[in-house]
């Protein structure tokens, strides 16, 4: 039985596969020779302990759309690129602004307060390295506009890729989709 990358020698083998939520998970696990009690399914990924990767791959292929696992793997690869780029943040005034989901919500809230004229005096924005940049109303609006526009551009590119992947009608068309290509670059660092 082949070990999964990162497994310890002597540890039971673990196989994983990307499968649709509509798949018959118990049938796939049984066809692979696994025990459903040793299987987990989370966010489209099936993990089964005690079986080989080849056995699970064969079981997945025999239970549905043979291009599904490749299609879903590409979509998940694109999603990971989106998440990595959001986590990397955006350069601004010599630092990095966080643009993850929670930071986007804080930026939008502060921008609304700045626009309404209710932003507190002496506000500073905490950067990714925990340094603080003091902002006035115009600065807050500029930061929020740039950061939210960049995050939206990243998300829009992911959505476009997701649609292209879903629409790829043949294995060849799916293989030609380059999920690394075309991602927007962050705006030039603000002053």
Per the confidence metrics, is the pTM higher than 0.75?
no
Answer whether residue 140 is part of any domain: yes
Give dist(CA 112, CA 151) in Å, integer: 18
Total count of domains within the chain = 2
Answer whether residue 89 is part of any domain: yes
Tell me, yes or no, whether 141 and 48 share the same domain.
Answer: no
**What is the residue range of 23's domain?**
14-64
Tell me, yes or no, whether 170 and 106 share the same domain.
Answer: yes
Rounding to the nearest 10 degrees, give the CA dihedral for residues 40, 168, 174, 66.
50
Tell me, yes or no, whether 76 and 166 share the same domain.
Answer: yes
Answer whether residue 25 is part of any domain: yes
Q: At 96, is the pLDDT very low, low, confident or very high (cuts 50, 70, 90)?
A: very high
124-177 pLDDT, tens digit each: 999 999 999 999 999 999 999 999 999 999 999 999 999 999 898 888 898 899
55-83 pLDDT, tens digit each: 777 777 776 555 566 787 888 889 989 99
Tell me, yes or no, whether 89 and 167 share the same domain.
Answer: yes
With contact defined as beta carbons under 8 Å apart, do 147 and 92 qualify? yes
| Helix, strand or coil, per DSSP, at residue 96 | strand
């Amino acid at each position: 039985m082949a070990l999964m990358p990162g497994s310890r020698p002597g540890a039971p083998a673990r196989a994983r596969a990307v499968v649709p939520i509509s798949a018959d998970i118990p049938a796939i696990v049984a066809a692979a020779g696994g025990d459903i009690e040793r299987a987990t399914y989370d966010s489209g990924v099936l993990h089964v302990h005690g079986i080989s990767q080849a056995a699970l791959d064969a079981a997945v292929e025999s239970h549905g759309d043979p291009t599904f696992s490749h299609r879903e793997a590409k979509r998940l690869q694109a999603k990971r690129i989106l998440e990595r780029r959001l986590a990397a943040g955006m350069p601004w005034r010599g630092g990095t602004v966080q643009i993850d989901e929670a930071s986007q919500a804080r930026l939008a809230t502060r921008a609304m307060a700045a626009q309404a004229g209710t932003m507190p005096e002496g506000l500073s924005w905490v950067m990714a390295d925990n340094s603080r940049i003091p902002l006035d109303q115009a600065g807050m609006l500029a930061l929020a506009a740039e950061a939210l526009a960049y995050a939206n551009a990243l998300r829009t590119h992911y959505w476009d890729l997701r649609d292209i992947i879903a629409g790829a009608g043949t294995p060849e068309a799916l293989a030609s989709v380059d999920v690394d290509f075309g991602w927007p670059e962050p705006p030039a660092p603000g002053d």
